[in-house]
Amino acid sequence: MFPKKLHRAVICNHDEPIVQTRAGKLRGLIVEETYIFRGIKYADANRFEMPRPVQPWEGVKEAIIFGPVCTEIQTGIAHDAYYVPHFYYPQDENCQYLNIWTQSVEPQAKKPVMLWIHGGGFSSGSSVELYAYDGEDLSKHGDVVVVSLNHRLNVLGFLDMSAYGDKYKYSANVGMADIVAALQWIRDNIAVFGGDPDNVTIMGQSGGGGKVAALLQIPSADGLYHRAVIQSGMTANGNNTMPADAQKLAALVLENLGISSENVDDIQKVPIYKLNRAAQKASADLAAGGTRVGWGPVYDNDFYKGNALSEAGFRPESINIPVMIGSNTGEFAGNATYSPYEAAVKDWTSEQRDKLYDSVFGSNKERALANFKKAYPCKDEAFAPLMDTMFRTGVTAYSRARTAAGSAPCYTYMFALDMPYLGGSLAWHNAEEAYMFHNAEYLEASYIPGVSEWLQDVMTDAWVAFAHTGDPNHTHMPLWHPVTGDRDATMIFDTKCEMRYDFDKEFIDDLLSAKKAGFSGLFGGRRFLGGGPRQQI
């Protein structure tokens, strides 16, 4: 995706590398023995309608450049573009494209397939947005087939037009239907790229992790994947977007566009910028009235059976899928871009630290700090107020509930490596991706000589082992146990890897209590802001 070395030999000839898919022939690249195919069209679709297979073609199509990414309602310049490097690409609503990295194009190779589903919530992002998403080294190191994809997002992927006729019955979930279509394409075609259609792992981070969790609740995806990885993508509240609220949003969008229900098909011809503006205004108007409707799958108990942590529960058809789920220590409070003392954490005075702890924990300070040191004996106490609770509580709730509901193993992890950025930062949102993609040495803000090379080997091997068998264990790390009914079991990825059990509950409870109390006086109103695409300056 992004050049990592200069003077690399690239082969792209008229006659190689060419593969024969069901719809026609594709020509890609060979880069240092890795076969790369970019911008493969896996589906077509009319606006707000379900995806359909691409039409066959004659001759050979080029698959050497990426396809367009989904149009965004608003593309902000992320303030985290240094420590989570971004790559922006042309946008188009005709965005159903995928990319493949593989070490073989022999159908008999039958290598595990690892499908990456990008983050950015359900409203932004793409398969090429982050430098860490480059699949070449993961494919090479793990000898696996890596696939990434673009799909419809925001108003294009999740506007509930179901009240306006059968044509739009599933419009509230066509963004997820695109991903199902990509999985169907993988089932039908991945063998010619050396992949095993009977061994597909779906994995994603943040919004991508949410999409993985959603796929487990979508009947039409059953049988198309065999393992699932949710990275910083699950919160504990388990909220669904309900049809009544989603349909209010759609009605307002039509009203803003001046389109009546009798002429609803006119929405197909509205220029995308007008559609986006109408959707943005509709969302804001609903929020002003007290109803917040985020872009994402809508619980219709048909295409999408709803969030497993809400009233929907886990589907018996997918409860036998092994799951790996985890989060990072800092997430959105991971890097101290807005340090209260404009100094590296290690340089804060004892007076400054006490002021911070009093401001956050109040009378519970001593207990909270004791519980923090018990949970994280090697971490600086200054990090205690900044530890993530949103995704950590989601990991715990999801893994416990899933373990109770079925027999498939659920493995949990925490990425706990302190980053060298700004004299020391917690692992921010997105930080683990470069390590499980085996790209850590290419991202300078989080690179630690010697440590990064070792840890990316350990983590990539764990993800690859999981893709092979549904068990992340390998010989270069401690034995990783799944969650059981009576205890949490968490693999800690840090300067050393360690298996911990029920290790942070007391501290997380302390921090949740502090957050409910409002973090009174924290930094005089300033906050620690962390990594994550689309955070505005």
Residue 2 pLDDT class (50, 70, 90 cuts): low
pLDDT for the residue 374: 96
Between the ranges 110-124, 334-348, 514-528, where is the mean pLDDT highest? 110-124
pLDDT digits (tens, 9 = 90+) for 291-323: 999 999 999 999 999 999 987 899 999 999 999
Instruction: Report, as an integer, the average pLDDT of 509-519.
Output: 81
pLDDT for the residue 238: 74
> Could you tell me the end-to-end alpha-carbon distance of the chain, in angstroms, rounded to an integer?
27
pLDDT for the residue 339: 60
Q: Answer yes or no: is pLDDT of 533 > 70.
A: no
* Percent of the chain residues topping a pLDDT of 70: 93
Residue 526 pLDDT class (50, 70, 90 cuts): very low
Instruction: Identify the weakest region by mean pLDDT among 33-47, 99-113, 511-525.
Output: 511-525
pLDDT for the residue 251: 97
Task: Find, among 249, 186, 237, the residue nearest to 215 by Cα.
Answer: 186
Instruction: Report, as an integer, the average pLDDT of 239-262.
Output: 94
In the chain, % helix, strand, coil (3-state, to 5) comes to 35, 15, 45
Q: How far is CA 314 from the centre of its chain?
A: 20
Q: How far is CA 378 from the centre of its chain?
A: 28
Instruction: Report, as an integer, the average pLDDT of 187-213.
Output: 98
pLDDT for the residue 475: 95
pLDDT for the residue 529: 31
Q: Answer yes or no: is pLDDT of 258 > 80.
A: yes
pLDDT digits (tens, 9 = 90+) for 427-473: 999 999 999 999 998 898 999 999 999 999 999 999 999 999 999 99
Distance between CA atoms of residues 184 and 103, nearest Å: 22
CB 242 within 8 A of CB 332: no
How would you list the strands of the sheet with 18-20, edge to edge? 18-20, 25-27, 60-62
Q: Answer yes or no: is pLDDT of 383 > 60.
A: yes
pLDDT for the residue 22: 98
Q: Which residue has the tokens 């690409």?
A: 89
Distance between CA atoms of residues 396 and 391, nearest Å: 9
pLDDT digits (tens, 9 = 90+) for 317-353: 999 999 999 999 999 875 544 466 777 888 888 998 9
Q: Between residues 194 and 526, which one has the greater pLDDT?
A: 194
pLDDT digits (tens, 9 = 90+) for 148-198: 999 999 999 999 999 999 999 999 999 999 999 999 999 999 999 999 999
Task: Find, among 270, 413, 263, the residue nearest to 328 by Cα.
Answer: 413
Task: Find, among 184, 114, 115, 118, the residue nearest to 151 by Cα.
Answer: 118
Instruction: Identify the weakest region by mean pLDDT among 93-97, 131-135, 198-202, 236-240.
Output: 236-240
Q: Answer yes or no: is pLDDT of 37 > 50.
A: yes
**Residue 117 phi, psi (nearest 5):** -115, 120
pLDDT, averaged across the chain: 91
Q: Answer yes or no: is pLDDT of 494 > 60.
A: yes
pLDDT for the residue 337: 46
